[in-house]
Structure 1
């Protein structure tokens, strides 16, 4: 009887252990949902900035408060990750300061991402609520989305290059894949092919190769794909827009303009092989900057002057003289962000540092034939960040030192803007 009683107790103990173990397994298989959690509900911590560490060349999961060598197995998604939600990568439970936004990107009017000092967050309801999905060291400089699932971000930790992160699940998990050579521009053509400044990658950003550019180039060239690119050169008080169709092997001039003063910067955008929007930034003075925007939709055969903003402090707009001062005007006395949607549609912000509401916006929806300025103006004396989904829907984020960033959205092409979120 003693032996039988012992067997019964052992069986009972094993059964109880199996029941308890099953409960634990079920909980692990059903992690908490995160896509509908706003930052106010979550409460996460802010990471401090430090100098970058050279990448070892191995794929590493990006996160916070751990060395990259210890993170290679953190946050991996399972084969059925598309069916069940999994927790974000390396998110602490402390409050994170989201007040200073430094990058924004949208996939459509409802889904998009923002980044700041040590964090990336995602919205699925047009910016009303945000869930932090990444925390780490460094400032987010750029976010690029190929679609709703494939997203990249660059992290500035100091030094000459940026850490490049990738997400294949819409920003839920992030993996460190390499570096990006340019702080201002990142463009993925596919999951493997990418462009950043005067360099290209064929392995998803793990390695980069230089692109040949013309002499006397101002700022960076812009490549729409591996073959077709645009650049601006300056020599003897003449700006020249140049074009390549063979990946930089040869360049030919397609537009020349005389300059009253040297160029201070160039921004180029393109939405097609034959499409180019060239923003030329001129001289500054009295807190004003002169600037011009030129557009071609036929590969450089013909050009339209989209904007020619001459100012008292900065002098003539690039490509114009004081006498030849006619042309479409943007509202700001300094250029704001330029966002190009298609060969027909482009939006551009403007800033007026001396104004009570310094931020304004304008647009063209006919390829630059006409320019329309919104009647609305907005507060915020810091940088502003623009993301446009189509000719009707867009996001605009205003920043100011020591104050929360504020997000506005439009659904009528920029005529009216609605405040949807204050980042705290």
Structure 2
């Protein structure tokens, strides 16, 4: 009898040991499966969760604000990639466009307050590709894939966004060094006013510029640049060929009154377009445009718009009013395509249809004005692909921005989209 009890106890003990061993085996197997999830995978899962949690506009703002504390000019910083934006224009107020850029007549981008949108059919349809904080000031496209944009989030600097996949995803990479014209001559080399970058816009270094400069210099590349100076009632266009170490004058004009601003564009080593903006009065502003194709040896007067309210165009006298005229009483957007082709808008705040446009296609020897004018009392924006194809966006303070396009060189413009 005692033997039987011992046998039963032994059997029960053996069975319990087998159950415990089995449980232990399952625990070890589960531990091995968990260990196959690497730290990187965990971080990826965490990142995906974070992106999901930041899908609302409010959380997008906090994401951008957190990034703004990183050191953008001294290192890589904490770059932030926005979530893949799904085209849902109803959630974004696109009524006020503040920047435009095209890669070709069909493909391009526009931006506004906290958003960037893309078209692939010449502006008829747009899809939002970025939502964040800040007003888009500029967009620049090196090609159909590489795009940059500057954001005004308040303060003295502009945040710099980059996309490497045609605007599908955007990364905050740093700040723009100034509010000059941002342009890239390669994926790594960028120029903006008096500064340049060799790492795609992440860090910037200053150029040396001449004394008494008006606004920003414009560098076509790392060596060749242009600047406008004024001293003792003389307007002077200065040129450098060694990256700003030495400057020398290539054009001088007497001024009746001081310059208020100067805008420079260049599409070649020897090419420079100089817009000089003078006095204003009675909703009128006087301005002139000069152009050289031979490095400054010779110049064409492209535009000389003297006005009653603003006085003589810079570089001209009250008696000299026979220069080529652009329509309107104030300068509009200026877009240079190549050494031969440039377009410029005109504005007439006192007119029923204040927006006009003109162009040259022979390097400034002649200036042609379109007969078409359009309403809209806000800022206007130009993006020109070639001598025949271009976009013109006209804004209104209380109405949505409207986009017009031309395929015959500016003679006719058709409405293709109303932004809402």
Normalized against structure 1, the TM-score is what?
0.82
User: Where does residue 55 of structure 1 map in the other structure?
Assistant: 70
User: Where does residue 188 of structure 1 map in the other structure?
Assistant: 184
Displacement after TM superposition at 1:92 (Å): 7.5
Give the Cα–Cα distance (whole angstroms) in 2 for the partners of residues 201 and 347 of structure 1.
28
User: Where does residue 23 of structure 1 map in the other structure?
Assistant: none
> 1:279-294 residue pairs with structure 2 within 5 A?
279-294=275-290
Displacement after TM superposition at 1:48 (Å): 7.3
RMSD, aligned α-carbons: 1.8
User: Where does residue 26 of structure 2 map in the other structure?
Assistant: none
User: Where does residue 124 of structure 1 map in the other structure?
Assistant: 120
**1:324 match: secondary structure:** coil
User: Where does residue 148 of structure 1 map in the other structure?
Assistant: 144
Give the Cα–Cα distance (whole angstroms) in 2 for the partners of residues 180 and 54 of structure 1.
15
Q: Kindly indicate whether residue 360 of structure 2 is the aligned counterpart of residue 364 of structure 1.
A: yes
Displacement after TM superposition at 1:58 (Å): 2.6
User: Where does residue 113 of structure 1 map in the other structure?
Assistant: 109
Displacement after TM superposition at 1:324 (Å): 1.5
Normalized against structure 2, the TM-score is what?
0.82
In structure 1, list runs of 5 or more residues that go unmatched: 1-43, 64-74, 76-86
Displacement after TM superposition at 1:55 (Å): 2.8
> 1:46-125 residue pairs with structure 2 within 5 A?
53-56=68-71, 57-63=76-82, 75=83, 87-88=84-85, 95-125=91-121
Give the Cα–Cα distance (whole angstroms) in 1 for the partners of residues 279 and 391 of structure 2.
29
Give the Cα–Cα distance (whole angstroms) in 2 for the partners of residues 408 and 267 of structure 1.
25
Give the Cα–Cα distance (whole angstroms) in 2 for the partners of residues 149 and 62 of structure 1.
16
Q: Residue deviations 1:133-184, cap 9 Å, x none?
A: 0000000000000000000001110111111111010000001111101224
Q: Is the 8 A contact 1:45 1:93 kept in 2?
A: no
Give the Cα–Cα distance (whole angstroms) in 1 for the partners of residues 61 and 404 of structure 2.
28
Q: Structure 1 pair 327/173, CA: closer, same or farther in 2 (3 Å)? A: same
Give the Cα–Cα distance (whole angstroms) in 1 for the partners of residues 178 and 389 of structure 2.
28
Give the Cα–Cα distance (whole angstroms) in 1 for the partners of residues 353 and 89 of structure 2.
37
Displacement after TM superposition at 1:62 (Å): 4.0
Give the Cα–Cα distance (whole angstroms) in 2 for the partners of residues 416 and 207 of structure 1.
43
Displacement after TM superposition at 1:344 (Å): 0.5
In structure 2, list runs of 5 or more residues that go unmatched: 1-55
User: Where does residue 49 of structure 2 map in the other structure?
Assistant: none
**2:267 match: secondary structure:** coil
Q: Structure 1 pair 94/393, CA: closer, same or farther in 2 (3 Å)? A: closer
> 1:315-354 residue pairs with structure 2 within 5 A?
315-354=311-350
**2:91 match: secondary structure:** coil
Give the Cα–Cα distance (whole angstroms) in 2 for the partners of residues 335 and 129 of structure 1.
30
User: Where does residue 170 of structure 1 map in the other structure?
Assistant: 166
Displacement after TM superposition at 1:403 (Å): 1.0
Give the Cα–Cα distance (whole angstroms) in 1 for the partners of residues 202 and 314 of structure 2.
38
Q: Residue deviations 1:321-379, cap 9 Å, x none?
A: 01122110000100001100011000000000000000000000000110000000011
> 1:375-414 residue pairs with structure 2 within 5 A?
375-414=371-410
Q: Is the 8 A contact 1:45 1:97 kept in 2?
A: no
**1:336 match: secondary structure:** strand
Give the Cα–Cα distance (whole angstroms) in 1 for the partners of residues 350 and 90 of structure 2.
39
**1:116 match: secondary structure:** strand
Q: Residue deviations 1:92-124, cap 9 Å, x none?
A: 786210000000000000000000000000000
Determine which structure has the larger helix proportion and give its number.
2
Q: Is the 8 A contact 1:152 1:164 kept in 2?
A: yes
Q: Is the 8 A contact 2:180 2:216 kept in 1?
A: no
Return the index of the structure with the highest Cα Rg: 2
1:216 to 212, 216, 231: 212
Displacement after TM superposition at 1:400 (Å): 1.0
User: Where does residue 295 of structure 1 map in the other structure?
Assistant: 291
* Count of residue correspondences: 358
User: Where does residue 16 of structure 1 map in the other structure?
Assistant: none
Give the Cα–Cα distance (whole angstroms) in 2 for the partners of residues 383 and 184 of structure 1.
18
Give the Cα–Cα distance (whole angstroms) in 1 for the partners of residues 337 and 90 of structure 2.
38
Give the Cα–Cα distance (whole angstroms) in 1 for the partners of residues 216 and 348 of structure 2.
26
